[in-house]
Chain A
Amino acid sequence: EDTGEKYATAEQLYNEAKEEESKPKFRKALRLFEQIVPEYRGKPQGEKLSFLFADTYYQLGDYYLSSYQFERFQQSYPNSEKLEEAAFKKAASFYELSPRYDLDQTDTRKAITELQAYLNTFPDGEYAIRANELATELRVKLEKKAFEIAKQYHTTGLARAGNFRAAITSFDNFTKEYPGSPFREEAFYYRFDATYQLAINSFASLMEERLKEAKTYYQAYVKRYPEGEYLSSMNASLEDIETRLQNL
């Protein structure tokens, strides 16, 4: 029959495309897959075909559709030998969809969940190392987002009343929520600096209390990072705090 021929051609195109890394061939294969996938649903060839179909979307970079098709594949063929690859590629599709850190991170969270689901199911899987790498990269992205938002409150502290206080609260939350983050030292530094800036821009009546608050944050930094890279700039601020406290 006609569909059989199409099946053979499509599979051949797919294999060639994969070999040659040729997008036009993937596109041609996709056209044929789109036509024959519904016809083979429920038939023995359907399993292989569904996987190739989903993978073609993946290879073409259409990650919205590849994540959806891999998901369908997982549900339709829970016993397939390709299940592991499908689970990883579904997660990897969401990884690809994850936008830069300062935009909405819904897809990033989804990707982390899917990568984690993959690692739970296939702890020693073929893609386990890669999945861990991707998940770490995405977690750092979320940390960067939270860090940059908190830092922006610090940056705009002089322009908008209440922003230094907002920065302190945000960095507090940040240090609690992401204890292993690469931005942790910076967060401790900026939390101190926000308190310091807030204090020296305060009315005299509030200054003493706030300067003392800044000192506790200084100590919090020094305790964790006795050789920290911000130490010299912080020491200068601390000196200023001490003089101000004496002159109050």
Chain B
Amino acid sequence: TQAQDLPISDGEKYILGEIKVTGNVSYNEQTVIAYTGLKKGEEIYIPGDKLSNVLKKLWKLDLFSDINFYLTNVENGVADLELEIQEVPKLSKVRIQGLKKREQEELLEENKLREGAKVTENLITTTKNYIESKFRKEGYFNANVKINTTPVQDTTDTKSNLVNMVVDVDKGDRVKIDDIDFAGNENFSDAKLKRSMKNTKQKNLFRFWKRSKFVRADYQEDKQSIIDKYKETGYRDARIVSDSLIKKDDESITLNLKVEEGDQYYIGDIEFLGNSVYSDDQLQRVLGINKGDIYNGVLLDKRIMDQSRPDAQDLSNLYKNNGYLFSNIDLVETNVYNDTIDFEIRIMEGKEAYFNEIRVTGNDKTKDHVIYRELRTKPGQKYSQEDVVSTVRELGQLGFFDAEQLEPNFVDPNPQTGTLDLEYSVVEAGASQIELQGGYGGGGFIGTLGLSFNNFALSGLFDKEAYKPLPMGDGQSLSLRAQASTFYQTYSLSFMEPWLGGKKPVSLQTSFSFTRQFLFDYLTRRADKSRSFDILGVNVGLAKRLTVPDPYITVSHAIGFQRYNLNNYNTGLFTFGDGHSNNLSYTFGLTRDNTYVNPIFPTGGSKFKLTAKLTPPYSLWNDVDYANLGEQREFQLEDENGNLIDLNGGRVTPENAVPDQGKIDQEKFNWLEFYKVKFSGEWFTQIYDKLVLRTFAEYGFLGAYNNDRGVPPFERFFLGGDGLGAFSLDGRETVQLRGYPNQSVVPIDRPTGSTDDGATIFNKYSLELRYPITLKPSASIYALTFLEAGASYDNFRDYNPFQLNRSAGAGLRIFMPAFGLLGIDFGYGFDPIVGSPGANGWETHFIIGQQF
């Protein structure tokens, strides 16, 4: 842009000669000249418009603290110029005095006080003001900041143009509110008004958790709360006439507030206008405010449209949840007489809105089909705010996206055609976990490597392109885990696909695990690698949520196989040390769960669960006479040479042969044969306010098809304690019964000292009262007290529903999304456990994970 050069006052025209730049330290002479735009040989007025524009342009850069042009030589109308510049110093080091390290770093960051920053006057002033006002906001009214800069003295004394900065901060004492005085309040006491101020508090020795500092923003908010407090009780005209802040001394202030209460008002007639979809009665029921009620402005606004809760039961949502996106509701006061106000609620229903297109953006890992199958809002469907809100919540629960950043955007809402597009914008979140740990335990080093991928894509397994770094986006989960120590190794792999085949929400779960345990000699602290016990497990299951007869029922099928292999390894489980046992079973499960609303703290509904685990009835067709195995030659005790012997090793005749228990058990358990049925039911009842009663009953029975073959020592029930599933080899089921030690409630008819191999029948009853302390999404906490009773039996002959082990106690549960459920219970057992006299007394239980 070449502007016309004009002379200023008596400026004369010259030809521009040499330009010299002086005073520059960090900028190249050529660069500066190029920037000015002056070229040798051009015509120029001195003084003139062009030169002064150059000066302005240079000043604007904020890089120089002084700029001067000098005419150094004039010859034949050719003028040589000198441009003298003083560069703004750069920041070398900053020191902040009077603050903690962390505060210092924050301030440096917030004010951009970095090495190399240009130290302009502006920087110094804004920094000073920023720090002072920052501390004022925190209640330090006397904060004082001084900033000094000193040039850096280089040892070589060359021009460095660097300065050091010292910021001296004197926070002073925090100003406290000594007193809050109210005037003009007749209907509300001072104390009540002070309570309504949430963050502005008067000094009080007993209130140590909330300080009485004065923060202006909070104070303004609290003034509004005072007005709201009045509004809630009919004082519609209440206002704060004046308020003043009086400084008592450097450390304390007094607040004086003068209020004008006005009169208390009552609700008069409420008339609905413009409603055609809902009748006056229906609207009145949702509004829930009647003629003659005390006027409550806050509540009235909330019942029409609650700004704080998008899922509230209010008039606006009544329309918005049923397609009327374009509806609008206005509240108008039509008449005020004496202390009564008449209202009109004017409703513009507008056209019903339908979704046209539903889009998803931001999914750069998760594939469309995984997301779209979760969306409740669909093309062509009537608009429902409720559906939008639940979709956002459910997408968040998938765990693939950052729940905080999920938002629905309405695109082109068109009141004329009654259509809108909806766009869900998602942000992918890391959904994989890696666990790698090592440590000492159980007599040696234990290493664990765990990988879990929450959004895996099996389809990408053989696609090179999909590895970024792993195939992801099909919404499947895959986890791998390996654990090894000196005496055992465990490997497991599991895979879950929530929509098998993509047509219906049928989930497929498969898992595979292998454990090898070596005999561990506790004396030598060595594992004997030649003696081992292996368990191999494979499970495949399908679960499907039904739609008929109601949507709360889930049916599941699973096939499982376990193989136990003993290699010269004696456990309490088997009477033989060498051999194997197979457990092939089919499990059928039926669950009906309509508990609501919060899964952590249900306040209503019930949950029933029935499972049946069955093995094939081998004994029906395998022609083994299990009753008389001991009389057959091959199951009798013999020595190495095949001669029959007795228990003492002496030779015996076939008539006196002794059965070999090990061989018999091997024959009985080579394929486990049993059936197991369990039933549980629980009900949640809201008793009063948030107090909820949980009623729970559970039964289990393990039986044999063939009584001669008997019930195997596997899969049995162990009652008592916290009910947490401990590591076990025998597929045992632990049942919670608080007030007793873990797995201690054995059938009462057993002789003392008998080996505890679990019961085949149990029942358990429980009543629990729960009260929530907080139910925030970040952490839910509730307290509980309970009464429980349960017992286990060896057979139906001994079954006695009144012979129960009873207990009572109290506890606490904390649920945090990152940790799951944690809890502690104290229970008192009223009855003895087998083998000890008297009541069992107090027990403490720690609960980890879901226990309902």
* A156–B363 CB distance below 8 A: no
Interface string of B498-528 (1 = CB under 8 A from A): 0000111100000000000000000000000
For A159, what are the chain B residues with a Cβ–Cβ distance below 8 Å?
503-505
- In the bound assembly, the distance between CA atoms of A152 and B373 in angstroms comes to 8
- In the bound assembly, the distance between CA atoms of A160 and B373 in angstroms comes to 9
- In the bound assembly, the distance between CA atoms of A166 and B357 in angstroms comes to 9
- In the bound assembly, the distance between CA atoms of A99 and B473 in angstroms comes to 13
- In the bound assembly, the distance between CA atoms of A102 and B367 in angstroms comes to 5
For B363, what are the chain A residues with a Cβ–Cβ distance below 8 Å?
103-104
- In the bound assembly, the distance between CA atoms of A149 and B356 in angstroms comes to 13
Interface string of A54-66 (1 = CB under 8 A from B): 0000000000000
* A145–B356 CB distance below 8 A: no
* A102–B369 CB distance below 8 A: yes
For A170, what are the chain B residues with a Cβ–Cβ distance below 8 Å?
357, 379-380
A163 CB within 8 Å of chain B? yes
For B365, what are the chain A residues with a Cβ–Cβ distance below 8 Å?
103
* B373–A168 CB distance below 8 A: no
| A190 CB → nearest B CB, Å | 14
- In the bound assembly, the distance between CA atoms of A106 and B364 in angstroms comes to 10
* B381–A99 CB distance below 8 A: no
Specify which of A102, A103, A155 is in contact with B503 (CB 8 Å cutoff): A155
For A162, what are the chain B residues with a Cβ–Cβ distance below 8 Å?
378, 381
* A149–B372 CB distance below 8 A: yes
CB-CB contacts below 8 Å: A141-183 with B: 145, 148-149, 152-153, 155-156, 158-160, 162-163, 165-166, 168-170, 173
| A155 CB → nearest B CB, Å | 6
| B517 CB → nearest A CB, Å | 44
| A150 CB → nearest B CB, Å | 8
* B504–A169 CB distance below 8 A: no
Known contacts A152-B368, A166-B381, A173-B379; is-contact A104 B473 (Cβ 8 Å) = no
* B368–A102 CB distance below 8 A: yes
- In the bound assembly, the distance between CA atoms of A160 and B473 in angstroms comes to 22
Specify which of A42, A148, A158 is in contact with B369 (CB 8 Å cutoff): A148
| B82 CB → nearest A CB, Å | 24
- In the bound assembly, the distance between CA atoms of A104 and B379 in angstroms comes to 19
Known contacts A103-B363, A156-B502, A158-B504; is-contact A165 B369 (Cβ 8 Å) = no
| A165 CB → nearest B CB, Å | 5
B437 CB within 8 Å of chain A? no
CB-CB contacts below 8 Å: A79-117 with B: 99, 102-104, 106
B77 CB within 8 Å of chain A? no
- In the bound assembly, the distance between CA atoms of A148 and B503 in angstroms comes to 14
Interface string of B350-391 (1 = CB under 8 A from A): 000000110011111111110011000011110000000000
* A156–B379 CB distance below 8 A: no
- In the bound assembly, the distance between CA atoms of A149 and B372 in angstroms comes to 8
- With CB as the reference atom, state the residue of chain B lying closest to A171: B379
* A104–B381 CB distance below 8 A: no
Size band of the interface chain A makes with B: 20 to 34
For B505, what are the chain A residues with a Cβ–Cβ distance below 8 Å?
159
* B504–A103 CB distance below 8 A: no
For A163, what are the chain B residues with a Cβ–Cβ distance below 8 Å?
378
* B380–A103 CB distance below 8 A: no
For A145, what are the chain B residues with a Cβ–Cβ distance below 8 Å?
368
- In the bound assembly, the distance between CA atoms of A153 and B374 in angstroms comes to 11
Most buried by A among B363, B367, B372, B379: B379
- With CB as the reference atom, state the residue of chain B lying closest to A168: B380
* A166–B369 CB distance below 8 A: no
- In the bound assembly, the distance between CA atoms of A144 and B558 in angstroms comes to 37
- In the bound assembly, the distance between CA atoms of A152 and B369 in angstroms comes to 7
* B368–A149 CB distance below 8 A: yes
| B359 CB → nearest A CB, Å | 9
Known contacts A104-B362, A155-B502, A159-B505; is-contact A165 B378 (Cβ 8 Å) = yes
For A169, what are the chain B residues with a Cβ–Cβ distance below 8 Å?
356, 378-380
- In the bound assembly, the distance between CA atoms of A176 and B260 in angstroms comes to 64
For B360, what are the chain A residues with a Cβ–Cβ distance below 8 Å?
104
| B150 CB → nearest A CB, Å | 32
| A205 CB → nearest B CB, Å | 19
- With CB as the reference atom, state the residue of chain A lying closest to B501: A155
- In the bound assembly, the distance between CA atoms of A166 and B354 in angstroms comes to 11
- In the bound assembly, the distance between CA atoms of A42 and B34 in angstroms comes to 10
- In the bound assembly, the distance between CA atoms of A104 and B365 in angstroms comes to 8
* B369–A99 CB distance below 8 A: no
For B378, what are the chain A residues with a Cβ–Cβ distance below 8 Å?
153, 162-163, 165-166, 169
| A194 CB → nearest B CB, Å | 11
* A148–B502 CB distance below 8 A: no
* B368–A148 CB distance below 8 A: yes
- With CB as the reference atom, state the residue of chain A lying closest to B363: A104
Specify which of A42, A103, A166 is in contact with B379 (CB 8 Å cutoff): A166
* A156–B503 CB distance below 8 A: yes
| A105 CB → nearest B CB, Å | 8
- In the bound assembly, the distance between CA atoms of A170 and B421 in angstroms comes to 12
| A206 CB → nearest B CB, Å | 15
| A106 CB → nearest B CB, Å | 7
- In the bound assembly, the distance between CA atoms of A169 and B381 in angstroms comes to 9
| B506 CB → nearest A CB, Å | 9
For A149, what are the chain B residues with a Cβ–Cβ distance below 8 Å?
368, 372
Most buried by A among B360, B367, B378: B378
For A156, what are the chain B residues with a Cβ–Cβ distance below 8 Å?
373, 502-504
- With CB as the reference atom, state the residue of chain A lying closest to B31: A42
| B808 CB → nearest A CB, Å | 46
- In the bound assembly, the distance between CA atoms of A99 and B466 in angstroms comes to 11
- With CB as the reference atom, state the residue of chain A lying closest to B421: A173
| A127 CB → nearest B CB, Å | 25
* B473–A103 CB distance below 8 A: yes
CB-CB contacts below 8 Å: B574-591 with A: none
- In the bound assembly, the distance between CA atoms of A72 and B372 in angstroms comes to 38
| B353 CB → nearest A CB, Å | 14
| B7 CB → nearest A CB, Å | 32
| A61 CB → nearest B CB, Å | 13
| A104 CB → nearest B CB, Å | 5
- In the bound assembly, the distance between CA atoms of A158 and B502 in angstroms comes to 11
- In the bound assembly, the distance between CA atoms of A166 and B380 in angstroms comes to 6
- With CB as the reference atom, state the residue of chain A lying closest to B367: A102
- In the bound assembly, the distance between CA atoms of A103 and B362 in angstroms comes to 8
- With CB as the reference atom, state the residue of chain A lying closest to B425: A104
Most buried by B among A145, A148, A165, A169: A169
- With CB as the reference atom, state the residue of chain A lying closest to B544: A159
For B373, what are the chain A residues with a Cβ–Cβ distance below 8 Å?
152, 156, 160
- In the bound assembly, the distance between CA atoms of A90 and B37 in angstroms comes to 33
- In the bound assembly, the distance between CA atoms of A6 and B365 in angstroms comes to 41
**What are 5 A-to-B residue pairs whose CB atoms are below 8 Å?**
A102-B369, A103-B367, A158-B503, A159-B504, A168-B380
Nearest 7 interchain pairs by C-beta: A169-B380, A166-B378, A169-B379, A102-B368, A159-B504, A102-B367, A166-B379
Contacts beyond the supplied A149-B368, A155-B502, A159-B504: 6 A-B pairs with Cβ under 8 Å = A102-B368, A104-B360, A148-B369, A166-B378, A168-B380, A169-B378
Residues of B with Cβ closer than 8 Å to A? 34, 356-357, 360-369, 372-373, 378-381, 473, 502-505
